[in-house]
Structure 1
Amino acid sequence: MKHEVFRLEQVSLPPYLFDINLHLYKGEIVALIGLNALGLEQLLTIFQKNIPIHYGHVYCNDVLVNDYLSSSRKPNRVTVIQRDSNLIDNLTVEENLFVLRKGFHGHLINQKVLSSQMEQLLAPLPVSIRRKTLVGNLSSFEKLVIEFVKASILRANLVILHDISNFVSELDLARLEVLMHYFKEQGMTFLYLCNHHQEAFRFCSRCYLMQEGRIIKHLFPYQMTNEVIIKYSNVFEQSMERSQRQRPPEVMEDSETPFLVCENLWYGNVHNLSFSLRKGETVVLLDSENLCIGDLFTLFQGTAMPERGKLTLAGKAPSKGDRSISLIAPKPYETLLFPQLSVIDNLYFTSDEKIRHIWLRPKRRRAIAKELEPIFGKDLYKSSLYDLSQEKLHTIVYQRILMQHPSCVCAVQPFGSVDMF
């Protein structure tokens, strides 16, 4: 007989969630594919904490823990694993596993005992970690293994994997499949959140499709095919201008001096990398193992120097605060925007070098705002960003960069946090 771990019945939290019905059983891997992003973060919060909901019931291990009449706000035993690790880099693996957890009451820490316990837990897993290793020295996959083990120690009712493929390499995804099935046999339940069906079908036995804050389809194994999924997805080509898509790329003159030069570059996981970029070109760097992106981004920020080789922009090494290059990290609406500032102030934030005296001339700011009204409408005059949609926040980010008018834009996984379909 199946043991039910979580059950959501008609859960509604307008304007984000509407009539959510979802069942999770012990020892299974279930996918949740967001055809768009609306409501996903709120749903994760409901799993983690018993926050007030507008309507519906939430059960954990057949016990009512939350409903529309009362909300305890007590946390559930749910672990969320995502790009931002729950581990502390400056502590050892043993300390992260055993000391930093609820229920640890020891006054003295016996490192030998902790190391021995760690080795016993890691013995059946596809990873080898030495004693007293700092978490900051681990690879992304090794950190993932430690988070799985910690969730097991905490006896988590549910482990939510959120966009794992954004920070784990393709090679490690195959190892992740083995890891998940091992913990599945131990009775661990997984909810796998992603935005592409091919990734979800690889791991999961059931699948929920979510769109506009609603569960629109529950797929069983025999329904998890491309033919079924295409009925619920929009054609990506419709979101592109056909004329731009069919326009052949411009051929650049070989004699033109490259603007960006990367020559025999060595830094971290970057080994002997060479490429160049001329003005007007768009180059895609595909890091299939997801190892080099972070190191390259660090070099572009100007916060580190290459170990060997060179990286130059217009003949100069990248430097902090250089407005000639714009760096867009994954989920830029979380790192580049200031939610407490108005929409207009966020848009003008990096325009002071291109538009002179913009902060001292209200008339100039109002004139520019008139030109932006067709893009943002009434949202342009909002005093903060707190109630704006993710789509609007993305628009603010890229409009700000257009106004900044940098010579070079470096975007890391620009589609990693947006709707896939």
Structure 2
Amino acid sequence: MGPEALSTAPPPAAQPDVDPIVEMSGISISFPGIKALDEVSFRLFPGEVHSLMGENGAGKSTLIKALTGVYSIDGGSISLDGHAVEFTSPAHAQRAGIATVYQEVNLVTNLSVAENIFLGREPRRLGLIDFRKMRTDAKRVLRTLNLDIDPSSLLSTHSIAVQQLVAIARAVDVRARVLVLDEPTSSLDQREVEELFGVIRRVRGQGVAVLFVSHFLDQVYEISDRITVLRNGRLVGEHPAAELPRLDLISAMIGKDLAALEALEEGTKREATERVDGGALVTATQVGRKGTIEPFDLEIHRGEVLGLAGLLGSGRTELVRLLAGADRHDQGEVRFDGNVVKLRSPREALDRGIAFASENRKTEGLIGDLSVRANIVLALQAARGWVRQIPRNQQDEIADRYIKALDIRPPNPNQLVRNLSGGNQQKVLLGRWLLLEPKLLILDEPTRGIDIGAKAQIQKLVATLAEEGLAVIFISAELEEVVRLSHQVGVLRDRRKVAQLTNDNLAVEDILEIIAAEAEKSP
């Protein structure tokens, strides 16, 4: 079944022998210059896991925000348990029994784990917050996720992965009838994903309806009972997961058949022999930072993609932060373009031609309340100084060039970045750094949480940049992606670089064996 067969919505899949707890009919939402949802219908039944699939910009997040009271709808209706509802806020939706965990962790990091779990519903005694009971109850909630962490510890002391699980623990404890999980596994390793799926199966068994959004196809098929596909703000179809082959799902999501998808990815497979070697650009000798990452050696050549592979917490991000000036190394020596450098800040790194796109684009990259244009020219303006403002016509020319080059959607330079999909936000961030014409581009999880079409576009861009002589460090939790793009692959574990592999027909299994072998040696 190709995309043409799915171009119009088929009859709904056979429903369970119960009434839907959520029914959204003919939902339409428009923003300036774009129709985000066009008469989309969606059903969610008690005791099922229902995945919402589609490319970035397909309307998934907009549909979720319409359900949870973030956005008001322009047309259509929403019913909960057979009764028409109009939620005016997420708190309103939560009181009605709909709990949501979004892709970006939205917690208060300067409060404790327990305070975050019970924020807004703290247990009280004699009118005062009962912190002892809060910690006890939080420990019970965390135990359901097999998390053994101190409820009194500050949330900021924990990794993004643990923070994500705390957000899920909070949602689970609300005892919702509907649990919405928007990319909940994007920061979790395999063990944590298995723990989360155990929780999802338990709440499903209790009759809770789970709306699940993920770009990891393996996870979708592992946990889902039903799948609804959106494309360009329209409903493509609703299917039992067991009756929707993966290739048909991908074709439905992107509107292209498998041959077109393979053509899009053609040319991104890298091998060491394909490198345009312009000589060593960066040489790190026994560089490290106490308590952060053990001393490592690393060499990056012009025209080379160096992939970094390892489990979450292995030290991938910690390593590149030293090279990007975000953290300072206290051991070893870094040479850039043949000269010893001591980078004290990302600004100093930028001045030398090192651009760093952090994995946390929300807090360390983009400014959501600024336009696409303003975000693209931001770094260039900072380099020029705020006194020497870039003329508006030049800003427009720059923005239009990168909107076209990177296929940013919608192609509107005035669009607020916070209203873009995750994949298009990532493209805006890439445009900002490419505008500075760096010598080394460091990309930390640039394709995390974005759809397969946008992912292929970014991969192709990385391959093209390397062919043009740019040095790229590429980090991804998806080992297949690292192998596809990289000429060399550095493997990390327990914040140590344990191997560097040349991509001579390198396979994912080769990397996994090294990680597993190192794990066996660890105490």
Same topology, TM > 0.5: yes
- Partner amino acid, structure 1, of 2:298: F
Query: Is the 8 Å Cα contact of residues 342 and 382 (structure 1) preserved in structure 2?
Result: no
1:327 aligned to 340, 343, 356, which one? Answer: 356
Distance 2:23 2:411 in 1: 41
Aligned to 1:28: 48
1:273 and 1:51 mapped to 2: Cα distance?
Answer: 48
- Give 1:127's aligned amino acid: L
Preserved CA contact (<8 Å) 1:28 1:189: yes
Q: Distance in 1 between matches of 2:443 and 2:284?
A: 17
Distance in 2 (alpha carbons) for counterparts of 1:123 and 1:136: 20
Deviation at 1:102, TM superposition (A): 3.9
Contact 1:38-1:212 within 8 A present in 2 as well: yes
| Residue 353 (structure 1) shift | 9.1
Cα deviation, residue 169, structure 1: 1.2
Aligned match of 1:252: 277
Residue 406 of structure 1 pairs with residue 438 of structure 2: yes
Partner of 2:447: 415
| Residue of structure 2 in register with 1:226 after alignment | 246
Taking the aligned partners of 1:51 and 1:367, their CA distance within structure 2 comes to: 30
> Match for residue 120 of structure 2?
101
Correspondence 1:305 to 2:332: no
Matched, 1:8 2:38: no
Structure 2 residue 173 is matched with structure 1 residue 153 = yes
Equivalent residue for 1:176, pick from 184, 190, 196: 196
Aligned to 2:222: 202
Matched, 1:46 2:66: yes
AA aligned to 1:183 is V
1:386 paired with 2:416, answer yes
Q: What's the secondary structure of 2:341's corresponding residue?
A: coil
Deviation at 1:213, TM superposition (A): 1.1
Question: Which whole-Å CA distance do the structure 2 matches of 1:176 and 1:262 have between them?
Answer: 40
Q: 1:326 to 1:140 in 2, by over 3 A?
A: closer
Residue 134 in structure 1 maps to residue 154 in structure 2:
yes
Show the counterpart of 1:286.
Answer: 309
Q: 1:184 to 1:39 in 2, by over 3 A?
A: same
Separation of aligned partners in 1, 2:143 and 2:373:
55
Q: CA deviation at 1:113?
A: 2.6
Match of 2:504 in 1: none
The change in CA–CA distance for 1:319 and 1:96 in structure 2 (over 3 A counts) is same
User: What TM-score do you get using the length of structure 1 for normalisation?
Assistant: 0.80
**Shift in Å, 1:17:** 0.7
Q: CA deviation at 1:21?
A: 1.6
Measure, in 2, the Cα distance between the counterparts of 1:355 and 1:139.
35
For the Cα contact (< 8 Å) 2:375–2:432, is it kept in 1?
yes
- State the match for 2:12 in structure 1: none
- Richer in helix (by share): 2
Once the two structures are superposed, residues 259-308 of structure 1 have per-residue CA deviations (whole angstroms, 9 ceiling, x without a partner) of 15263635666455543212221112123436534434543453433465
Relative distance call for 1:108 and 1:380 in structure 2 (3 A) is: closer
Q: How does 1:366-385 map to 2 (within 5 A)?
A: 372=401, 375=404, 384-385=414-415
Question: After superposition, what is the alpha-carbon deviation per residue over 1:23-68, rounded to whole angstroms, capped at 9, x for unaligned?
Answer: 11223211111234232232121121074322211012222113xx
Letter in 2 for 1:90: N
**Deviation, structure 1 residue 7:** 1.3
Alpha-carbon separation, structure 1, partners of 2:237 and 2:249: 10
- In structure 2, relative to structure 1, the CA distance for the partners of 1:191 and 1:306 (3 Å cut) is farther
Change in 2 beyond 3 A, CA 1:369/1:166: closer
Structure 1 residues 279, 134: CA separation in 2 closer, same or farther (over 3 Å shift)? same
Q: CA deviation at 1:149?
A: 3.1
Q: Any stretches of 5+ residues in structure 2 without a counterpart?
A: 1-16, 454-523
Q: Structure 1: which amino acid aligns with 2:234?
A: R
Q: Report the equivalent of 2:483.
A: none
Identity %: 15
Offset of residue 239 of structure 1: 2.8
Distance 2:59 2:400 in 1: 32
Q: Structure 2 vs 1, CA of residues 187 and 298 (structure 1 numbering), >3 Å: closer, same or farther?
A: farther
TM-aligned CA distance change 1:124 to 1:349, over 3 Å:
closer
One-letter identity of the residue aligned with 1:7: E
- Given the superposition, is the C-alpha separation of residues 327 and 186 from structure 1 closer, same or farther in structure 2, using an over 3 Å criterion? same
- Deviation at 1:326? 1.0
Per the alignment, do residues 48 and 268 of structure 1 end up closer, same or farther by CA in structure 2, a change over 3 Å counting?
farther
Which residue does 1:56 correspond to in 2?
76
* Consecutive unaligned residues in structure 1, runs of 5 or more: none
1:351 maps to what in 2?
Answer: 380
The CA deviation at 1:373 is: 9.2
Tell me the equivalent position of 2:471.
Answer: none
Amino acid at match of 1:41: S
1:418 deviates by 3.6
Give the 3-state SS of the residue equivalent to 1:165 in structure 2. Answer: coil
Q: Count residues with an aligned counterpart.
A: 412
Shift of 1:132: 2.2
Q: CA RMSD in A?
A: 4.1
Residues 319/127 of structure 1: CA separation in 2 closer, same or farther (3 Å cut) = same
- State the one-letter code of the partner of 2:20: E
The equivalent residue for 1:76 is: 93
Q: 1:339 to 1:142 in 2, by over 3 A?
A: closer
Return the alpha-carbon distance in structure 2 between the equivalents of residues 373 and 130 of structure 1. 46
